[in-house]
């Protein structure tokens, strides 16, 4: 899903990083809060105050997303599911699992941990909000805490939508998997629902864009496209994994590959050999020739 992420810090033994696309989200969230949300709910403050609130609230949101994914990761560790790390990207965050859970109970526990974590963070922010109001804190503090309390509840509820690969879709898949005993069937049903939900978001986003909320509509449509693509890709991964389960490597490998000497010309290679055979010199792998529309050499030094 991601390229090389930028590492930030380690939390509870997990590497937390950001994908470059996260920068787009960071700017968009900060700008939306500073120029739209906070001025609407808390008028008559200075632009500097609004931007300070926007930056702090955006940082709080990203911390909330990290805690959401940390909840997934801690439960995954409990069930011995390896987690490569937590990555923030343009559509939120993800705990990158090296493999899927091997039983429905583990899938259910890992999936539901994130929404529970977000709900608890929301409750903690609400308690801090009540304390701030009682202590007579200023509008900026109250506004930021109110936003974080509400957005964490929204995050928990949205992720409980039974549309794969959202947490709710994974919970649904776990229940279907437990009911039928088939991971492939459960994934197909959950992915179909997730794809339909993604298409629905795209349609809603286009409607919003055409009726005046262009930025919000396009953002919703992009989220829908991501959900749809992720649902389809997740099902294909399960199909491939299930199809290859128990198949020994010797059945699908080339036991005696055709090799070519390193001294021949490119013309000879093209005329006398076929694509992508390894280049061997002195009985060692030297390079791989790949012809896409052109010939590319990747030389490896001994």
Q: Of the listed 69, 100, 107, 242, which one is catalytic?
A: 69
What does the alpha-carbon distance between residue 233 and residue 230 come to, in Å, rounded to a whole number?
A: 5
Q: Quick one: what percent of the chain has pLDDT higher than 90?
A: 33
pLDDT tens-digit profile of 177-203? 999 888 888 888 888 988 898 899 899
pLDDT at 183 (0 to 100): 83
* DSSP assignment string, 22-36: HHHHHHHHHHHIIII
* Helix 104-134 vs helix 47-78: crossing angle, to nearest 10: 150
Structure tokens at 30: 């900060």
pLDDT tens-digit profile of 25-53? 888 889 989 988 899 899 988 999 999 99
What does the alpha-carbon distance between residue 275 and residue 180 come to, in Å, rounded to a whole number?
A: 44
What does the alpha-carbon distance between residue 290 and residue 243 come to, in Å, rounded to a whole number?
A: 28
E strand or H helix at 79: none
Q: Which one has a higher pLDDT value, 218 or 290? A: 218
Report the largest interatomic distance among the alpha carbons of the chain, rounded to a whole angstrom.
83
pLDDT at 252 (0 to 100): 64
What does the alpha-carbon distance between residue 295 and residue 302 come to, in Å, rounded to a whole number?
A: 22
> Is 69 a catalytic site residue?
yes
Angle at the Cα of 182 (from 180 to 187), degrees rounded to 5? 105
Which candidate, 276, 282, 280, 277, places its Cα nearest to that of 261? 280
The pLDDT-based confidence of 294 (bands split at 50, 70, 90) is: very low
pLDDT at 39 (0 to 100): 92
Q: Which one has a higher pLDDT value, 133 or 23? A: 133
Structure tokens at 214: 């262009």
Tokens 């429905």 identify what position? 104
pLDDT tens-digit profile of 255-286? 666 666 777 777 776 666 655 555 454 555 55
Q: In 3-state terms, what secondary structure has residue 161?
A: coil
pLDDT at 22 (0 to 100): 83
Q: Which one has a higher pLDDT value, 295 or 173? A: 173
Structure tokens at 251: 């059945």
Residues 6+ apart with CB under 8 A from 3: 19, 20
Whether the model clears a pTM of 0.85, i.e. scores above it, the answer is: no
Return the sign of the alpha-carbon dihedral for residues 266, 271, 274, 277.
negative
pLDDT tens-digit profile of 70-121? 999 999 999 998 888 888 887 778 888 878 888 899 999 999 999 999 999 9
């Amino acid at each position: 899903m991601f390229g090389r992420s930028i590492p930030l810090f380690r939390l509870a033994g997990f590497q937390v990083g950001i994908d470059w696309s996260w920068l787009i989200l960071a700017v968009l969230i900060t700008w939306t809060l500073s120029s739209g949300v906070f001025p609407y709910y808390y008028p008559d403050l200075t632009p500097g105050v609004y931007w300070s609130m926007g930056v702090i609230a955006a940082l709080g949101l990203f911390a909330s997303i990290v805690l959401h994914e940390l909840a997934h990761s801690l439960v995954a560790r409990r069930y011995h599911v390896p987690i490569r790390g937590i990555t923030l990207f343009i559509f939120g965050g993800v705990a990158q699992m090296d493999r899927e859970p091997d039983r429905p109970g583990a899938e259910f526990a890992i999936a539901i941990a994130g929404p529970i974590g977000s709900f608890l963070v929301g409750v903690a922010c609400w308690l801090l909000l009540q304390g701030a109001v009682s202590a007579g804190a200023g509008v900026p503090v109250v506004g930021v805490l109110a936003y974080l309390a509400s957005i964490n509840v929204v995050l928990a509820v949205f992720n409980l939508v039974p549309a794969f690969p959202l947490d709710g879709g994974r919970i649904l898949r776990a229940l279907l998997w437990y009911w039928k005993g088939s991971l492939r069937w459960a994934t197909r049903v959950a992915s179909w629902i997730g794809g339909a939900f993604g298409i629905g978001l795209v349609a809603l986003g286009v409607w919003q864009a055409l009726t005046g909320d262009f930025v919000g509509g396009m953002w919703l449509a992009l989220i829908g496209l991501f959900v749809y693509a992720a649902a389809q890709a997740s099902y294909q991964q399960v199909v491939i994994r299930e199809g290859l389960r128990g198949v020994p490597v010797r059945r699908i490998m080339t036991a005696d590959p055709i090799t070519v000497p390193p001294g021949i010309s490119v013309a000879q290679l093209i005329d006398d050999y076929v694509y992508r055979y390894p280049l061997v010199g002195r009985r060692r792998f030297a390079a791989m020739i790949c012809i896409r529309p052109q010939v590319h050499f990747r030389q490896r030094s001994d």
